[in-house]
Structure 1
Amino acid sequence: MAPPTGPRNGANNGRGGGGGKGSGRGGIAKRRAGGGRTDRDGDLDMGAGTTKVTSGKISKRTETSTKSTGASGRPTRPTRKAQNIVEKAITRGSGSLSARALGGMAPPGRGLRSQSQPSVTLKVEGLKSSKAASNEGGGLRELLTFIERKATTVGKVSRQVRVKKSQLKDDFVHITASKEDAEEILKLNGFGWAGTNLTITTTTDSPLDGSTTQMSSTALEVKEQLKGVLSVRYNVEAKLLDLGNLGQDPILSQMGFFAGESSPEKMFRALMAICDGIFKTAQAKRESVVSISLAGNNIDDVLQVMSLTDTFPDVINLDLSKNAIKDIKALQKWRHRLRHMETLLLNDNPIETTNPGYVQEITGWFPKLQNLSNQQVRSPEQVAAEQAATRPSPIPQNGADFRDINRIGEGFITEFIQMYDTNRPTLAAKYYDDQSVFSLAVNTNAPHAPDVQPPTWSAYLKFSRNHSKITHASARYQRLFVGAHLIQEAWKQLPLTRHPDIATQFDKYIIDCHPIHGLADPSGQSPLGVDGMTMTIHGELDDQEPTSKKEAKRSFSRTFILGPGAPGQNPIRVISDMLSMKVYNPLPTAAADAGTQAPTAAITAPVTQIPPASTDAEKEQFIMELCKRTNMVPEYSRFCLETANWNFDQALVIFAEKKAQLPQEAFIAGAA
């Protein structure tokens, strides 16, 4: 498959043949008298710049000067010929170009670049299988928005990539764009969007402007001949595509792929193009072609057959034996491709003798490779273990840590969950004030069980403040809701929810609650701040999409910072409320993750982990522990515990409040 050497016959048979000895359309045409003048397309120019032959001499008409500049360098008016070229570039159809390209003929000529070039039609596959297909309008608007935004970003272009026209037909979306924008859009082939991978290819089928693009008879004949070659070489039962020893194929030899200017690389690209037409989707390719043989093709570099990895990226078994691969460098281009390949045969290649240590290096390139040149390099168990090692493991969860004081946290969270499901306006008015803050973040990439179908997020995404997705400061600010009124308005637009009953289904939640200090005092009386608590709840909920009324189960995490309310208002207020939504994933239990017995106490169980001391021995232990934590002398520790009715957690809160007012003698010498 090494590229042929020697002169190319008719190398200038494109549109750019106007400027040399070997111009154009199948022979040498001299630009002299007797034959008429040809334009850049090789067509006869009937403009004002033609020549007149009289008595063997050439005389030019003088209606318009044909010089581009005069003696003084001043530009003159364009000639009629130049006008004809521009007109042809604008009005000429693309049928002949498409036919030559599809038929494997010589590449089209350079032609004249024009701002009015015909648009390129692309075919996009993946909308029907995406999560956006259930959206209003079928998800077409969301797909086009993604293509324009992502193509601009990936291509790092200064302009905005635009889709001119779009049309949904069967399972495909046909779009048109300028040539430059189409090149950027094609870079998105294989990108993930809305739970699926997009397949973007150029197409000449069903153009959106209503015109028809016909292949030439030669191109159709070439296409049918290549289809015939593939049909003979495809084994349906074994799902094997045998492309070995192509140089001995009589049909391909008769077509001239191994002689003259044609190259085997071009022939292989043509075969892959036909395969793309036969197996139209990535799933069809995976299911229909499991094994491919390229044996005996004199391949010395996989770059010559690079199009195979584009057409069949998920092939399982590949035979490259009896070729001319002599070193690792010849395989380097495939290092980050063919991630599902399990068998690779390189037998009877020079690399076996020139680089016998290639096995270990190539094994590291392909994560699922098990058989390399008939040697087992991994077992299926090793493949599974290596893949599991690359996946992130969840943080161990040891159960809830609920340190409540006077049952404040318990009362709040119980009422909050019930009212959020049934009466959000009253909830916001009771616990939120003008300084309260609410934000929502949607994590669409969270791990979940394989059998769980991810729901749509359209009702949440317009409010999402996920900083990994929302990077502009203005957008982040707009999605931060400050004040009870704005929070109420946001809650009205969020889907209705139904949480499990926290009293009877506490196993559906994990709740942490801890006292915190130094919160702003809404009354302004304590410059050092006041005490409050932070509370985090992990759980699940069922919601209903507002427009489609579809129900879905999701996981959520919600973090509250609670503090005392302003004078004359509710004693408890929500300072901060951060809600995070993700795909449903059952909560881990302490028994599963930590190897210990799962907690059985519900939120209605004792609210402090350390019950109040009742005996003299317990009280002495509390005094000693409080001395250690606060550095107070035993006398003041006892006084603090007595004030808190021997509730240890409450004593810590009292100490934090009064610490600044305590005299020096309250502390152990040198500790204050």
Structure 2
Amino acid sequence: MSYRGRGRGGFHNSFGGGVGGGTNQQNNNRANFGHHSQQQQIDAFTNSNQFPVEIMGWSGASSSECINFISRKCKVVVQNYSVDSNTGILKGYVKNEQQANLLLNWSGVKFAGQSLRFIKGTSNQASTTTSSSSTIETITQFLKTRYNPEIKMLNLSNVKQDPALNTHGFFSSVSITAKFFPALFKVANDLSLEVISIDLSNNELSELNQLVSLPQSFPKLQNLSFQNNQFNRIKVFETWKNKLNNLRELIIFDNPIVININTPQDINNLKLEFMKLFPRLVVLNGEILRDEPKLNMNLTFPFDSNSMFFENDDSRNLATNFLANFFKLWDSNRGDLMILYQNESQFSMQVDTSHPYLIDSNNSTDFGNYLSNSRNLTRVSGMNSRMNKLAIGQEAIFKSFQQLPKTQHELINKPNLFSVECYKFPSNNLNGLIITIHGIFEEIGQPELEQSNNNIPSGPRSRYIPQNKHKRHPLSKKCFDRTFTVIPDLQGSMIVASDLLLIRPYTSENAWEKSKEQPNITTQPQPVNTPSPAQQANIPSIENLPLEIKNNLSPMNQEILVKILIETKLTIQYALMLCEQSNWNYQLCMDNFKNSVASLPREAFV
């Protein structure tokens, strides 16, 4: 099996007829700073061809030999040179007038048996502004001849052999050549060319340094050809990882990366690596890699539930695609999610254990994998603790992800278990979205990293709060709420600015179903059931406290103990233990109870 050869369908057919693709529309708004950076590439190109000079007395050798001599001897680079056929004068450009004056000082230097003479150009050459306009105009005309609007294809094959570009010196030096593609992408952006196919074959490319801005310039790109270039490492393409999210077909024939493959195993590894880099890649060198309809289904979240709210169709498409891809990676490889987070991104997790199911039923949900890093602001009052539990930046966020159990979300198979709401937040420039999803997940594995217990309050060892940090906590189903604040980036992908995860005990799978029609409820006043004398005797009160306990407590502590008994439904032994370990501080008693209620035995309750 080999990748060598041509005519296997796919790319060429796609270029001929234009691939339909069936992908969702991306948000095409782009930040101004991206365009500004590309404009600098054009300005840099123009400034390199700015000031005209004329050279006479060079005819004893070739023009290129004369230019090389000037570079070595005078330390001035003359670019975009040409010979005037009428006068025989060698004309070219230097960067600025200072370099032109420097050349004037070298007039009389000997070359090939003759004396060179330099003068400032007097021809009607372009000034800085005119030169810039000329550069843009040249690239614009080039694009018009290379763009096919019917099939939305841009042919950038073998650009160095284009006569018009060579006449204007676009490839006269390595530094100028490096600026060509960024300048071209900038002009293409300004022309609003809709491109789904690009041919970059025969351009002697070995790196993507010149093509860094391609994904943001052509976010809808589906077909790309790099045939007959010099790529020899798969690592080169990692620059574009998760950036060309619509790329369907890739051609890399006649590159060392393919030519040097010797075994079927190497071929399979190459396929797998490209599929990891480009999530929608279906065809590689004319060979179909995977089932496209099934792939599209897996990358789309089929929201069928009625419990959904989207501000408009655009927000629906962005939110559903984001959530489908996010939770697929969350359940399989959380490291791949880091591309969505930036240095300023934030993540925090909190646990809500104060659910009636925990007290009023036999539910035995264990939150041990979450409690130590829970950032529930109603229970974590210390500023240092609050900040320590907030993950900022990719490294801290990934570490927090690794401290959470491995999970499985049935988004595709059971969309009725989830509810989503999505709306834009007020900002004229960012076009950001707030996406909130509620639902159920199942824990399927222990965390990759052992959670830190640094956030447990310091003090004497408590028998009430679990201390065994090496305990493997049982896995179970749980409910969750997760709120993302996301911003579309220049490539049409998402940047997660804020990620808030709330973990709750599992209740049922009927949360989002429409409730059955209820019978009419009478508004007649209902009789008040007065507790019997026996029931009244069981209600905690100071009078009901055992005498040996009352004798050892102050009146204030007796009141606190009674309030704890009523609020927590603990037995008097466990309530007394809780109060002692909380220094008889009512608020601290309630905080410690909520943090440890999931780990208490059943006999701790009345």
Common fold by TM > 0.5: no
In the superposition, the TM-score normalised over structure 1's length comes to 0.32
Whose Rg is larger? 1
